[in-house]
Structure 1
Amino acid sequence: MRSTTRRNTTRRNLATGLIGGAVLALAIPAMASAHVSVSPDELTAGDHGVLTFSFAHGCDNSPTTSLKVTMPEGLASVAPTMDSDWTIDIEKGDDGLVSAVTYTAVTPVPNELRGAVSMSVGLDEKTPESLAFPVIQTCVEGSTEWTQLAEDGEDPHSLDTPAPVVEVAAAAADGHGEHDSADDADPTAADESGASNTLGTALGAGGLVAGVAALVVSVLAYRRKA
């Protein structure tokens, strides 16, 4: 009886574990896909790029009506992309730069469809290493503020409503003033050196030919004497 009871308990525990794992496996992708993401998630300082903000779910499964994207400090320019599926409202700060862009859907985006908006941004050499774009997603019912930022050492994926973040890579060196010693050498001296080497090679080859010819003549003369 004890053996049978143990087997039944083990089976129940195994079944519970499998069901729990299946639920977790299904829940994790759903949670991840609910985030408002940005692509690409890395740009280069001093460069330009087109950022696309996308989402696949509304607020508690309610269709999405608008996305308001707030611009971080460090952007030199912002130009929202025209799209027939969205109307665009631009807000500017006292400095004349774009501070926020609101995209309003002409038709609310159902949960079964992926929604996306985009904008061109310009970076300068002083752009910080990380740019966070807080987003407010408004739906037919309710709204979600994607504004959380990970603290040092915290996993961004552990956040409930993380803000889209773009990392900024340092600009590559342009190579000006970074030549090796061969490049820095006087070109005239290099030409003279090359000419000298060519002349030396020619003279050496000529001497070798003359030596061989003299050897042949000596051998022929020796044979005649013999």
Structure 2
Amino acid sequence: MSIKTFSLATALIVATAQSALAHATLEQESVTQNATEKLTVRIGHGCDGAPTLRVRVRIPEGMIAVKPMPKAGWTLETVVEPYATSYDYYGNTLTEGVQEIVWSGELDDAHYDEFVFRTHVTEIAEADQVLYVPVVQECADAAERWIETPGVGQSSDDLEMPAPGVMVQPAAAN
């Protein structure tokens, strides 16, 4: 094997390993502008062996009319705040909505779970760009903050605690 091939293979293994270390992920890979979508946040384990007690999801600008799915055995809270701009949503003007979802309960470190919400993706979410959904996973004595987003010239693979993201597809032509 040549050095170039070996280096490429090593880089691919490292990138794959980094992606595998992302412990808060989204099941969906893409969403569509002007469409209502279901997003599923996946939590793969606790914080250094401790159980997860709370999962917080911050809703990015461009997602409106958010409705979280309750989970049996978990308490569900939402934080409603003003939007940066008003939105027309089926003939209604929305000026505020759910900006954060908080599920509180207990997820043992040895287990995996999913946290689901529905949202309408607006045209503010740029087509052909990744829309990041920050997640904070809280445990008794620690928190995993999956909130980093890449800067110019970076990718999520360059980050230690990347926020989960979905690619925004352009709205279907009418």
**Aligned partners of 2:53, 2:22: CA distance in 1, in Å?**
15
1:163 and 2:174 equivalent?
A: no
C-alpha distance in 1 between matches for 2:141 and 2:159: 23
What is the deviation of 1:78? 0.2
Q: Which runs of 5+ in 1 are unaligned?
A: 1-20, 175-226
Indicate the residue corresponding to 2:86 in structure 1.
Answer: none
Matched length: 147
Partner of 2:46: helix, strand, or coil? coil
Task: Name the amino acid aligned to 2:37.
Answer: G
User: What amino acid is aligned across from residue 128 of structure 1 in structure 2?
Assistant: E
The reply to whether residue 122 of structure 1 matches residue 110 of structure 2 is no
- Aligned counterpart for 2:34 among listed residues 36, 46, 55: 46
SS of match in other structure, 1:90: strand
Greater strand content: 2
* 1:43-122 equivalence runs, <5 A: 43-94=31-82, 95-105=95-105, 108-122=106-120
Check 1:34–1:141 CA distance in 2 against 1; reply closer, same or farther (3 A cut). farther
Distance verdict in 2 for CA 1:59–1:31, change over 3 Å: farther
Task: Give the AA of the match of 1:88.
Answer: L
- Residues 131, 147 of structure 1: alpha-carbon distance in 2 compared, 3 angstrom cutoff: same
Structure 2 CA distance for aligned equivalents of residues 163 and 172 of structure 1: 27
Q: CA RMSD in A?
A: 2.1
Q: Is the 8 A contact 1:33 1:56 kept in 2?
A: no
Q: Does the CA-based 8 Å contact 2:22-2:162 persist in structure 1? A: no
Scaled by the length of structure 2, what TM-score is found? 0.76
Residue 134 of structure 2 corresponds to: 134
Using a 3 Å threshold, how does the CA distance of structure 1 residues 131 and 155 change in structure 2: closer, same or farther?
A: closer
Contact 2:33 2:171 in 1 (8 A): yes
Percent identity over paired residues: 26
TM-score of the pair, normalised by structure 1: 0.60
Q: Which amino acid aligns with 2:71?
A: D
CA contact (8 A) 1:148 1:161 kept: yes
Q: Tell which has more relative contact order, 1 or 2 (C-alpha 8 A, sep 6+).
A: 2
Residue aligned with 1:78, SS: strand
| Distance in 2 between residues matched to 1:76 and 1:133, nearest whole Å | 13
Offset at residue 31 of structure 1 (A):
7.3
Bigger mean CA offset, 111-120 vs 30-39: 30-39
Q: Partners of 1:61 and 1:32 in 2: how far apart?
A: 17
Q: 1:88 to 1:148 in 2, by over 3 A?
A: same
2:87 counterpart residue number:
none
Q: Deviations over 1:164-215 (max 9, x none)?
A: 11221101222xxxxxxxxxxxxxxxxxxxxxxxxxxxxxxxxxxxxxxxxx
Q: Deviations over 1:84-126 (max 9, x none)?
A: 0321100001332111010112xx2122211210000112233
1:152 aligns with 2:140: no
Q: In 2 relative to 1, CA 168–31 (structure 1 residues): closer, same or farther, beyond 3 Å? A: closer
